[in-house]
């Protein structure tokens, strides 16, 4: 067989249909090229800038191979075929080749003529391929090798990133692999990169970034979206900069829960003025808003007890309770109380906030308790406070900043993505237009994993982050903000945004709807390319658009940095089963010992111990489920001592979550996944609160009311 780079010998002849972009040829049976390999034909063309035809080498890629039998057919019976002696070469090998173009003075051009029948077809040597796909050295991103020629490197063009990039692949086909390799190459160019990571897959890059060489040891930083995660710093957003509606939505308050939303609205209105009256900014944070709601609940109950159900009376009682909550010295309380009364009379915002609280709590204070429960969840996350993290913590040249969003509810993830992208885009706009405010002097590449979760079609679902992503996709190039969107379901990504991602790295895609979405989004993805997508192996990709001089089929190079994605190993996963059982048994003993130290009695089971401690009717099956959750998933709990309410959440490894709330005074429990019942999620939150020493007492709850034990 003729090897690439040797003296050219024909391996076939054009014998079938031929067009300027496509031809059929019959292959030499002793030199049959493999699928996706490259061939060329010589033809006369008039390149741009020339007046006379010149001989050029027109490169083509084999997209289909077929053997046709001669003298035999599938209808021949086996006894006849078995006794036949067919000579070698008694079949015809026909190949279909897609024309890629020819190189002329640094540019790639498509031919204007079809190769005539009888034209010899040659195997393309490596040197021809290297020249055809060459990229200027300063702009090279070395991401892999040609599928059929592992000796020929495949380069992407750095300047192509300006037109935005889509990395598209079915689950397990290598999309995260592709993104990590791209990140490595961008880092080598000194890029500023922000990775929005819903599953925490990219955090492992920090442990291995030293492998890139000297000077890269601190090139990866992790910003955590949850205070319990591992990370370099906690992302934070000032609650004062948010609207009440925004705060309620992020907290997960249903849109129809108007009274709960009204409580949050009223308390947030008062929080600004409470901070002014006391000189303490903390009142503008979540804890300050919760304290205002607690004061409003107390004021409403006092007003009802007085029997004078007027707004003015409620306002006086609220001012008194807020002054007490301020915790100032006695001589300052009257001053604060008077100031709040003046603000209530003079400022429309404060007056409106007080009216909202009265209308929501005057007859029934339960919406206030519900509002506290929702806001307590945001307190636990740790993102929402009294200040916003400086932008220079996120953005630094030659650095990858991974925003770890794992374990957060969808609403919170969506809000954080919106907040970060809006700030990055605004910072670049301010810098270029020399406007006041936070700015950043270098272009930024934003990598958005699971893009279809944040930018679905408008007809399917509304998200907060879609509009800013759409703005970056359409206008980011002008301001130096470039988007790399990664998805396994392009059919669930907004088509207007997908069409703006002109550079596409497409790995294996099987779903017909996803293939159709890809075809509709790019003029360079031909039907024959789509037909070949299901046959790509893991790590093999088609690259189209400005990322490459011409459409290229490549295999990704080995990555240097690690990530946490990929399929699990069943051997490793199931080998831990016995270990889990041992941990559960140790946990069972620890729980019984803790309850015994509180009540003084000994118990036979976790269900019996927890039932005695809380007064709830906890079944053995719920207790067993809870123990498994504690060991295998993430469980968080908090305890409001004033209300006697335990609240928390079970966060599954796939991002699902179930919120639980237990009122230890009324002995009622609820779960966002299971409803008004004592399920495994409820018990898991109780166990977590017990293990974290949040439930501390020397007497049994079954003997005396919970409030007397605090």
Classify residue 139 by its DSSP letter: G
64 - beta bridge partners? 96
Residues 6+ apart with CB under 8 A from 693: none
Residue 705 — pLDDT band, cuts 50, 70, 90? very low
- Give me the mean pLDDT over the 403-430 stretch: 94
| DSSP-derived secondary structure for 276-327 | HHHT-GGGGSHHHHHHHHHHHHHHHHHHHHHT---HHHHHHHHHHHHHHHTT
Q: Is the pLDDT of residue 345 over 90?
A: no
Tokens coding 243: 């609207």
Alpha-carbon distance of 43 to 8, in angstroms, equals: 15
Q: Is 602 left (phi over 0), alpha (psi -120 to 50) or beta?
A: beta
Pick the range with the lowest mean pLDDT from 195-204, 400-409, 689-698.
689-698
Q: Is the pLDDT of residue 570 over 70?
A: no
Residue 6 — pLDDT band, cuts 50, 70, 90? very low
Residue 573 — pLDDT band, cuts 50, 70, 90? low
Task: Name the phi and psi angles at 104, rounded to 5.
Answer: -145, 115
pLDDT in tens, 104-141: 988 999 999 999 999 999 999 999 999 999 999 999 99
Q: Is the pLDDT of residue 283 over 70?
A: yes
Half-sphere exposure (Cβ direction) of 655: Cα atoms closer than 13 Å: 16
- Give me the mean pLDDT over the 231-240 stretch: 91
Residue 246 — pLDDT band, cuts 50, 70, 90? very high
What local confidence, expressed as pLDDT, does residue 87 receive? 66
Residue 675 — pLDDT band, cuts 50, 70, 90? confident
- Give me the mean pLDDT over the 201-215 stretch: 91
Is the distance from CB of 189 to CB of 551 less than 8 angstroms? no
What local confidence, expressed as pLDDT, does residue 347 receive? 54
Between 316 and 243, where is the model more confident?
243
Tell me the longest C-alpha to C-alpha distance in the chain: 113
- Give me the mean pLDDT over the 439-458 stretch: 95
What local confidence, expressed as pLDDT, does residue 131 receive? 94
Other Cβ atoms less than 10 A from the Cβ of 416: the count is: 24
Q: Is the pLDDT of residue 7 over 60?
A: no
- Give me the mean pLDDT over the 205-228 stretch: 91
Alpha-carbon distance of 2 to 644, in angstroms, equals: 82
What local confidence, expressed as pLDDT, does residue 596 receive? 87
Which pairs count as long-range contacts for 493-499, CB under 8 Å and 24+ apart, including other chains? 493/451, 493/452, 493/455, 493/456, 493/457, 493/517, 494/455, 494/456, 494/457, 494/458, 494/466, 494/470, 495/457, 495/520, 495/521, 496/470, 497/451, 497/455, 497/466, 497/469, 497/470, 497/473, 498/166
Domains and CATH numbers, the chain: 10-132 (no CATH), 153-235+393-556 (3.40.50.300), 239-385 (no CATH), 571-709 (no CATH)
Select from 238, 232, 226 the least CA-distant residue to 388: 238
Mean pLDDT of the chain: 86
Alpha-carbon distance of 482 to 485, in angstroms, equals: 10
Name the pTM for this structure: 0.76
What local confidence, expressed as pLDDT, does residue 353 receive? 87
Between 438 and 512, where is the model more confident?
438
What local confidence, expressed as pLDDT, does residue 528 receive? 67
What local confidence, expressed as pLDDT, does residue 710 receive? 33
Report the percent of the chain where pLDDT is more than 70: 90
Pick the range with the lowest mean pLDDT from 103-117, 208-222, 501-515, 527-541.
527-541
Q: Is the pLDDT of residue 655 over 70?
A: no
Q: Is the pLDDT of residue 432 over 80?
A: yes
Pick the range with the lowest mean pLDDT from 37-46, 316-325, 383-392, 540-549.
316-325
Q: Distances in Å between the alpha carbon of 292 and those of 158, 266, 326, 363, 666?
A: 53, 9, 10, 18, 23
What local confidence, expressed as pLDDT, does residue 702 receive? 39
């Amino acid at each position: 067989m003729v090897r690439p780079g040797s003296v050219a010998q024909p391996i076939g002849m054009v014998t079938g249909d031929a067009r300027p972009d496509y031809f059929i040829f019959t292959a030499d049976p002793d030199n049959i090229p493999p699928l996706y390999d490259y061939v060329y034909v010589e033809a006369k063309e008039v390149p741009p800038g020339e007046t006379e035809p010149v001989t050029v080498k027109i490169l083509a890629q084999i997209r289909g191979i077929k053997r046709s039998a001669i003298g035999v057919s599938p209808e021949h019976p086996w006894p006849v075929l078995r006794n036949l002696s067919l000579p070698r070469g008694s079949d015809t090998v026909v190949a279909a080749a897609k024309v890629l173009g020819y190189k002329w003075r640094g540019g790639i051009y498509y031919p204007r003529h079809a190769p005539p029948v009888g034209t010899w077809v040659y195997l393309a040597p490596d040197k021809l391929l290297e020249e055809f796909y060459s990229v200027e050295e300063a702009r090279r991103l070395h991401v892999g090798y040609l599928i059929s020629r592992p000796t020929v490197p495949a380069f992407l063009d750095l300047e192509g990133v300006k037109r935005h990039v889509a990395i598209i692949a079915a689950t397990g086909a290598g999309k995260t692999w592709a993104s990590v390799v791209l990140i490595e190459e961008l880092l080598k160019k000194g890029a500023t990169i922000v990775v929005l990571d819903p599953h925490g897959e990219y955090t492992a890059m920090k442990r291995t970034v030293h492998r890139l060489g000297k000077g890269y040891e601190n090139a990866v930083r992790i910003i955590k979206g949850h205070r319990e995660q591992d990370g370099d710093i906690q992302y934070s957003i000032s609650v004062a900069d948010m609207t009440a509606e925004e705060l309620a939505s992020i907290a997960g308050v249903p849109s129809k829960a108007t009274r709960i939303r009204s409580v949050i609205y009223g308390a947030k209105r008062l929080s600004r003025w409470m901070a002014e009256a006391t000189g303490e900014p903390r009142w503008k944070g979540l804890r300050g808003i919760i304290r205002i709601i607690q004061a409003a609940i107390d004021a409403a109950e006092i007003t009802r007890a007085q029997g004078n159900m007027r707004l003015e009376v409620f306002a006086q009682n609220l001012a008194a309770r807020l002054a007490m909550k301020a915790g100032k010295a006695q001589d300052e309380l009257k001053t604060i109380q008077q100031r709040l009364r003046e603000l209530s009379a003079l400022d429309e915002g404060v007056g409106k906030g007080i009216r909202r609280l009265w209308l929501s709590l005057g007859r029934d204070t339960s919406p206030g308790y519900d509002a506290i429960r929702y806001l307590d969840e945001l307190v636990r996350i740790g993102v929402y406070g009294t200040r916003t993290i400086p932008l220079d913590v996120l953005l630094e040249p030659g650095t990858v900043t991974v925003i770890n969003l794992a374990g957060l509810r969808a609403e919170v993830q969506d809000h954080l993505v919106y907040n970060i992208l809006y700030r990055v885009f605004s910072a670049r706009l301010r810098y270029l237009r020399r406007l006041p405010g936070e700015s950043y002097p270098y272009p930024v590449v934003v990598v958005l994993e699971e893009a279809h979760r944040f930018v679905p079609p408008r007809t399917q679902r509304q998200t907060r982050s879609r509009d800013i992503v759409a703005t970056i996709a359409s206008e980011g190039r002008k301001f130096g903000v470039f988007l790399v969107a990664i998805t396994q379901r392009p059919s669930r990504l907004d088509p207007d945004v997908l069409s703006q991602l002109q550079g596409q790295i497409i790995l294996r895609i099987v779903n017909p709807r996803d293939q159709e979405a890809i075809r509709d989004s790019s003029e360079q993805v031909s039907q024959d390319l789509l037909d070949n997508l299901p046959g790509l192996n893991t790590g093999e990709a088609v690259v189209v658009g400005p990322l490459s001089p011409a459409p290229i089929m490549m295999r990704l190079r080995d990555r240097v940095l690690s990530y946490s994605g990929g399929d699990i190993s069943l051997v490793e996963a199931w080998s831990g089963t016995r270990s889990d059982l041992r941990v559960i048994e140790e946990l069972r003993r620890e729980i019984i010992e803790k309850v015994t130290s509180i009540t003084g009695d000994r118990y036979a089971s976790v269900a019996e111990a927890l039932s005695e401690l809380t007064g709830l009717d906890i079944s053995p099956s719920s207790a067993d489920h809870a123990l498994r959750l504690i060991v295998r998933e993430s469980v968080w709990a908090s305890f409001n001592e004033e209300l006697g309410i335990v609240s928390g959440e079970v966060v599954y490894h796939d991002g699902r979550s179930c919120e639980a709330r237990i009122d230890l005074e009324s002995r009622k429990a609820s779960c966002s996944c299971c409803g008004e019942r004592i399920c495994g999620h409820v018990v898991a939150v109780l166990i977590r609160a017990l293990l974290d020493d949040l439930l501390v007492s020397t007497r049994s709850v079954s003997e005396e009311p919970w409030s007397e034990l605090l």
